[in-house]
Chain A
Amino acid sequence: MSEARIGVYVCHCGSNIAGTVDVAAVAKWAEDLPNVVVSRDYKFMCSSPGQEMIETDIKELGLTRVVVASCSPHLHEPTFRGACSRAGLNPYLFEMANIREQDSWVTTDQVEATKKAMSLVAAAVSRVAYQQPLESLFVPIDPNVLVVGGGVAGIQATLEIADSGRHVYLVEREPSIGGHMAQLDKTFPTLDCSACILTPKMTNAANHQNVTLFTWSEVEKVEGYVGNFTVTIRKRARYIDEPLCTGCGVCQEKCPKKVIDDVFEAGIGYRKAVYIPFPQAVPNTPVIDRDNCIFFEKGTCKACEKFCPTGAIKFDQEDEIITLKVGNIILATGYDLFDARRIPQYGYGRLENVFSSLEFERLTNAAGPTLGRVVLRDGVTVPKSVGIIHCVGSRDKNYNNYCSSICCMQSLKFAHMVKERTGAEVYEFYIDIRTPAKAYDEFYQKVLGEGTHFIRGRVAEVTDAARQPGEEGKLIIQAEDTLIGKQRRIPVDMVILSSGLEARADAKEVAIKFGISCSADEWFIEKHPKLDPVATMTDGVFVAGACQGPKDIPASVAQGSAAAARVMSLIGQGEVEIEAATAIVNEETCVGCQECIPSCPYGSIEFLEDKKKAHIIEALCKGCGTCVGTCLSKSITLRHFTDEQLVNEMIGAMQSMKLFEAQDLVIVE
C-alpha cells in the first residue's frame, strides 16, 4: 500500500486532550510515519474549521486516507466520515484514534499519555492504508411505531406520533393505561387535578384511529434493526371477550373474592378478583386475576359468568402471541417506588401510621379508598400532627446514591394537602429543599406561608417508644435540628415517607431485550446526557420519562414529545443508512457446515440450499464478527475489520515502541 497518501489530524479537544498529551509533539512525530503526507494539530477538529481543514487537504494534497486522533468513534466518527465524503473520499477510508477516552482521560502521567497517543496514531496510520472503500446500504423505514409503557410519557409520545398520521402500537403491562400519574390526586406546583388532565389524554390515545392499544400485554422479543424491527407481544388472557364486554361492571360487583390492591391502591384499598383498576380506566374492560380467582383455585364459583349480561366471560381464553413490524421503538416504562421497609428505623410496615408516598396519594385521592379523607390507618381518626420525611432511600449510599428529584416538591404538596384537609400541624424534615423548576420555589414560599414547620435534619428514627410526657400513643420522630444543633423529638399522629424513585425491578432484562444499556442504578442510558437525551446507543430505540432517570410529570411529558419528534424525523427521512461493515462469505471455500447460522445473534445468516453455501443478509448483519470466529474453514470476512487491517493495526502499535527506543524520545512536560 505504498501509494496511500495519509493525512493525520491530532485534536486538542480544548484541554481535554491537550491538558495531558503533548499534541504538537504527536503531530510532529506522525509526519515521519510511512505514507503520511501531512500531519497537523488543531484545537477542535470537530468544529467547522477543523472539518474544512480535512476537506481542503483531501482536495489540495490528494489525500487518499485520513486519520483523526481525538475522541471516541461513538461521538465523532460520523462527523469525520461526513467531512471525507464531502471532499469526495469514501468514508471507510477514514480511521479514528481514540486519544481522549482511552488516553488523556485515563492516563495522568503526561509523558506516558503522549507516548500512548503516538502509539495509537501509529496503529491507525498503519491500519488505514489497508482499509477499503465500502458502500453503505439504504433500507426503507417502516413508519409504524411501538411505544412500550402507557404512563404519561408513553401516552404523550403516542399521541404526538398518531396525530402526525403514523400508526402507533401502545403496549401496557397493567390492565389500564395511565401509569403512576393516574394514582395521584393533585399535581405540583399548580395543584391541577391529576385525573382531569390525564384521563382525556388516556381516552384520546385509546380512541385514536392511528393507535392500537395492547393492555395486560408485554413485549416478549425484539428482532431486527432501525427501520425494520419485528416485535413479539404476549397479550395475556383477560378471560374476558373484549368485543362483547360493555364495561358495565356487574362482574366486579358480583365477584365474591376481595383482594388487597397493592398496585393501583398501593396496598390501602381492595379490589375484586375480576376488576377494573379504577373507574376511569382505559380500556374499561376488566381482567380476571387468575392467581386469586376462586374458579381457577377451586374449580367452582363462576359468579361473574352467571351475571354477565353479554356472556363476555371466557374462562378458556389463552394468551395471544402477536407479531408486529415497526420501524422505531420508544421505551417509557417508568419507575418503581423505593420500598421503605428497607430502612427499618423508619418503621414502615411495622408502625401502623407510617405511610408511603403512594399510600398517601391514594388517601388524598377523591376516588381513593377514603374518598379523599386524610385519616389514620383505622379509617376514622383525623391526624392532629403529621411528619413528612424527605430523602427516604435517596441521597443515601446505603440505598440509592442519587437525588430522586421529585420528592421535595411532592412533600411540599403533601404538606399543603394535609393542611387543607385536616388543619393539622405539619413538620417537614429535610436535608436540602430542591425546587429548581418553573414556579417550584414559589410553591415552597406558599407552603412556608401556610405555617408548615420546616426542620432541617435527616430523620434518625421513627419510634412508638414514649420517653417524655406528651409522647404516649404517638409516633415520635427523632432528628437533629441542624439549624439549632440540638436533638429533637417531635410526637406526631401520622408519618409520611417521601420515598424515592427506583428503576423498574426488571429494567435490566428489558434493556437486554431492546439492546440498550443501563447505568449502575439501572436507569436506561441515553445516547448523550445533554445533546441527545432521548436517543439510545441502539438506533431506532428511544427512551422517555422516568425509565431514563427520576423525573416529574412536566419533564416526562417533555421527553415523550421529544422522543416522538426524533421518531418522526427518522420516518420523514424515509430510509436509513446501514453500516457497511458487514460480514461476507467466501463461497469458494465455504463448506456449507452451517456452524455459523446459530452463532449469529441477529439471525442474519441463511443457507443457500441450491449452492449449499452460507449467505449473509447484509441488512440484518450488525458487523459483530461472531460468525468470523465460528467459521471452521475461515471463509467469513468482516468488512472493515479484516485480518489484514487488524494485524497491521497491531504492527503499527508495536513498531511505535521500537521507534521510542531508537529515538530516545524526549518530551517536555
Chain B
Amino acid sequence: MPDNGAGKSFYERVAAATPGGDVLMKCLQCGTCGGSCPSGADMDSTPRQLFAMISAGMEDEVLSSNTPWYCVSCYYCTVRCPQEIPITMIMYTLKRMALARGHYHKDAHINWSKSFTNFVELNGRSFELGAMTLFGLHNPFAIVKQGGLGVQMITKGRMPPVPERIRNMPQLTAILNEAKRIAEEEEV
C-alpha cells in the first residue's frame, strides 16, 4: 500500500520515503557530511543542519532550502557517514517533496534537473552540451558565464559535441515508465 504519510511528522515522512531512511534518527550531528560535501560552501544549510531541522519539524525551511539542489550525488557523505545514513538518498527525497509542493528554492534548480533528465530519458545517457543548451533557454544569463568553459571542454575532448545513445533504449524507457507509475501512485 502506498503511504501518503497523512498524520505523520515531517521527520517520519522523510524517513518513510527514503530507502533505509529510518536510521536518520541516529544522526550524531558530527558534520562529516557537511565537511565532505564538494558543494558545501554554496549550501545555505549543511546536510547535518537540514537533519536537525527535519527532526525539529521545520518543514517549510527545509523544503525551500537550496541544499538538496546543490547535491551532485557524489556520495562522499554517504560513504563516510559513521552512522551509515543514506544522505544522498535523503537529498533525493527532499527534492521530490519540494517539487510535489512547488516549494523549491529557485526556478533555476528545477530547470537544470529537468534539462538533465530530459536527455537521460531520451538517450539513456547524459548529454552535457544539450542539457546546458536547454537550461540556457530558461536561464540565458547563467549560461553566458559558463560558455567559455564549455568551448574549452569540447576542444579538449572532455565533453562530446553529439549525444550518445545506449543500446537497448526501449528497455530503459519501460523501466522509467514503471518508476513514474509507482511515483504517481505514491503521490495520490
Q: Is the CB of B46 within 8 A of A485?
A: yes
Which residue on A lies nearest to B32, using beta carbons? A458
CA distance A516 to B45 in the complex (A): 50
Cβ–Cβ contact B40 & A480, under 8 A: yes
Q: Pick the contact of A397: B40, B41, B76, B83 (CB < 8 A).
A: B83
B37 close to chain A: CB less than 8 A? yes
Q: How far is the CA of A575 from the CA of B130 in the complex (A)?
A: 87
A656 to B74: give the CA distance in the assembly, Å: 60
Are B82 and A457 neighbours in the complex by a CB distance under 8 Å? no
Contact flags (1/0) for A447-491 with B, using CB distance below 8 Å? 000000000111111000000000000000011111001110000
CB–CB B41/A487 < 8 A? yes
Give CA–CA (A431, B48) in the complex, Å: 13
Given that A480-B48, A485-B49 are known contacts, is A398 also in contact with B84, CB under 8 Å in the complex? Answer: yes
Determine how close the nearest CB of chain B comes to the CB of A513; give it in whole angstroms: 34
Contact B36 A482 (CB under 8 A): no
Contact of B82 among A398, A480, A482 (CB under 8 A): A398
- Binding stretch for chain A, among B23-31, B137-145, B161-169: B23-31
Tell me the bound Cα distance from A395 to B30 in angstroms. 10
Is A136 an interface position by the 8 A CB rule? Answer: no
A345 at the interface (CB under 8 A from B): yes
Q: Is the CB of A345 within 8 A of B48?
A: no
A431 with B46: CB separation less than 8 A: no
**Once the chains bind, are B30 and A461 in contact (CB under 8 Å)?**
no
B28 and A461 form a contact (CB under 8 A): no
Q: How far is the CB of A602 from chain B (nearest CB, A)?
A: 43
Do A479 and B84 contact each other (CB < 8 Å), given the known contacts A485-B45, A487-B41?
no
Sorting the interface of chain A by its residue count into under 10, 10 to 19, 20 to 34 or 35 or more gives 20 to 34
CA distance A480 to B76 in the complex (A): 14
What residue of chain A has the Cβ atom nearest to residue B28's Cβ? A431
A20 to B32, CA, bound (A): 41
B150 interface hit (Cβ, 8 Å): no
Q: In the complex the two chains form, what is the Cα distance from A397 to B83 in whole Å? A: 6
Residues on the A chain within 8 Å of B83, using CB = 397
Q: Is B181 an interface residue (CB 8 A)?
A: no
Please report which residues of chain B, range 27-80, place their CB below 8 angstroms from some CB of chain A when the two chains form the complex: 28-37, 40-41, 45-46, 48-49, 76, 80
Any B CB within 8 A of the CB of A442: no
B74 CB → nearest A CB, Å = 12
Complex contact B35–A457 (CB within 8 A):
yes
Complex CA distance for A551 and B33, rounded to whole angstroms: 30
In the bound complex, residues from chain B placing their C-beta under 8 Å from that of A606 are none
CA distance A345 to B77 in the complex (A): 12
Residues of B within 8 A of A481 (CB): 31
Cα-based distance from A487 to B67 in the complex (angstroms): 14
B84:A487 contact, CB within 8 angstroms: no
**Which A residues are CB-close (under 8 A) to B48?**
480, 482
Complex CA–CA separation, A395 to B84 (angstroms): 11
Partner pick for A457 among B30, B41, B80, CB 8 A cutoff: B30
Task: Give min CB distance, B2 to chain A, whole Å.
Answer: 27
Known contacts A397-B84, A485-B45, A460 near B28 by CB under 8 Å: no
Is the pair B31, A457 in contact by a Cβ cutoff of 8 Å? yes
* A396: Cβ under 8 A from any B Cβ: yes
CB neighbours of A482 from chain B (8 A): 29-31, 34, 46, 48
Q: Is the CB of A459 within 8 A of B35?
A: yes
- Do B82 and A397 touch (CB < 8 A)? yes
Residues of A within 8 A of B41 (CB): 486-487
Chain A's closest residue to B34 (CB) is A480
**Min C-beta distance of B66 to chain A, whole Å:** 14
Nearest chain A residue, comparing its CB with the CB of B77:
A460
**What distance in Å separates the Cβ of B62 from its nearest Cβ neighbour in chain A?**
14
Taking CB atoms, residues of chain B closer than 8 Å to A391 are 30, 82
Give the residue name and chain of the A residue nearest to B42 (CB). A487
Q: Which of B31, B34, B41, B49 has the most CB of A within 10 A?
A: B31
Please name all residues of chain A whose beta carbon is closer than 8 Å to the beta carbon of B36 when the two chains form the complex. 460-461, 478
Complex CA–CA separation, A212 to B184 (angstroms): 77
- The answer on a CB contact under 8 Å between B35 and A460 is yes
> Which residue in B32, B49, B84 is a CB contact (below 8 Å) of A460?
B32
Which residues A396-432 have CB closer than 8 A to chain B? 396-398, 431
* Residues from 70 to 110 in B contacting A, C-beta threshold 8 Å: 76, 80, 82-84
A457 to B80, CA, bound (A): 13
Q: Which residues of the partner chain B approach A460 to less than 8 Å between Cβ atoms?
A: 31-32, 34-36, 76, 80
Please determine whether B80 and A479 come into contact, CB atoms closer than 8 angstroms: no
**Contacting pair A478 B35 (CB below 8 A):** yes
Asked whether, in the complex, the Cβ of B34 is within 8 Å of the Cβ of A487, the reply is yes
* A481 to B30 Cα, complex, angstroms: 9
Cα of A456 to Cα of B28 in the assembled complex, Å: 12
Q: A480-B35, A487-B34 given as contacts; is B46 within 8 A of A395 (CB)?
A: no
Which parts of A62-114 form the interface with B (CB within 8 Å)? none
- Which residues from chain A contact B80 at a C-beta distance below 8 Å? 345, 398, 460
A181 to chain B minimum Cβ distance, whole angstroms, is 29
Residue of A nearest to B37 (CB): A487
List chain B residues, Cβ under 8 A from A459: 32, 35
**Contacts of A431 on B, CB cut-off 8 Å?**
28, 30
Query: What B residues does A457 contact at CB under 8 A?
Result: 30-32, 34-35
- A400, closest chain B residue (CB): B82
Return chain A residues, CB-CB under 8 Å to B49: 485
* A571-629 at interface with B (beta carbon < 8 Å): none
Instruction: With CB as the reference atom, state the residue of chain A lying closest to B79.
Output: A398
A480-B40, A482-B48, A485-B49 known; A395-B82 Cβ under 8 A: yes
B82 cross-chain contacts in A, Cβ below 8 A: 391, 395-398, 458
Could you say which residues of chain B place their CB within 8 Å of the CB of A479?
31, 35
When C-beta atoms are compared, the residue in chain B nearest to A456 turns out to be: B31
Contacts of B31 in A (CB 8 A): 456-458, 460, 479-482
Cβ A395 vs Cβ B28 within 8 A: yes
Q: Is the CB of A487 within 8 A of B35?
A: yes
A506 CA to B49 CA, complexed, in Å: 42
CB contacts under 8 Å to A, within B133-176, are: none
* B92: min CB distance to chain A, Å: 21
Q: In the docked arrangement, what's the CA distance between A339 and B86, Å? A: 26
CA distance in complex: A485, B31 (Å):
9
A480 to B67, CA, bound (A): 15
Q: How far is the CB of B84 from chain A (nearest CB, A)?
A: 5
Q: How far is it, in angstroms, between the C-alpha of A604 and the C-alpha of B126 when the chains are bound? A: 73
A 128-159 binary contact with B (CB < 8 Å = 1; else 0):
00000000000000000000000000000000
Contact A458 B84 (CB under 8 A): no
Q: Return chain A residues, CB-CB under 8 Å to B30.
A: 391, 431, 457-458, 482
Q: In this complex, what residue of B is CB-closest to A478?
A: B35
Cβ contacts under 8 Å, B46 to chain A: 480, 482, 485-487
State A396–B26 Cα separation when bound (angstroms). 12
- Residues of chain A with a CB closer than 8 A to B35's CB: 457-461, 478-480, 487
Alpha-carbon gap, A297 to B83, bound state (A):
49
CA distance A485 to B37 in the complex (A): 13
Chain B proximity of A435: nearest CB distance (Å): 18
In angstroms, Cα B28 to Cα A391, docked, is 13
- B40 pairs with A487, CB closer than 8 A: yes
Query: Closest Cβ of chain A: how far from B78's Cβ, in Å?
Result: 11
Q: Chain B interface (Cβ within 8 Å of chain A)?
A: 28-37, 40-41, 45-46, 48-49, 76, 80, 82-84
A-B residue pairs in contact (CB < 8 Å), sample of 16: A396-B82, A431-B30, A458-B31, A459-B35, A460-B31, A460-B80, A478-B36, A479-B35, A480-B32, A480-B40, A480-B46, A481-B31, A482-B30, A482-B46, A487-B35, A487-B41
> Knowing that A396-B82, A478-B36, A485-B34 are A-B contacts, what are 12 other residue pairs whose CB atoms are under 8 Å apart, sorted by A's residue number?
A391-B82, A397-B82, A457-B35, A459-B32, A480-B33, A480-B34, A482-B30, A482-B34, A485-B46, A486-B46, A487-B37, A487-B40
List of 4 A-B pairs having minimum Cβ-Cβ separation, nearest first: A460-B35, A480-B34, A480-B31, A396-B82
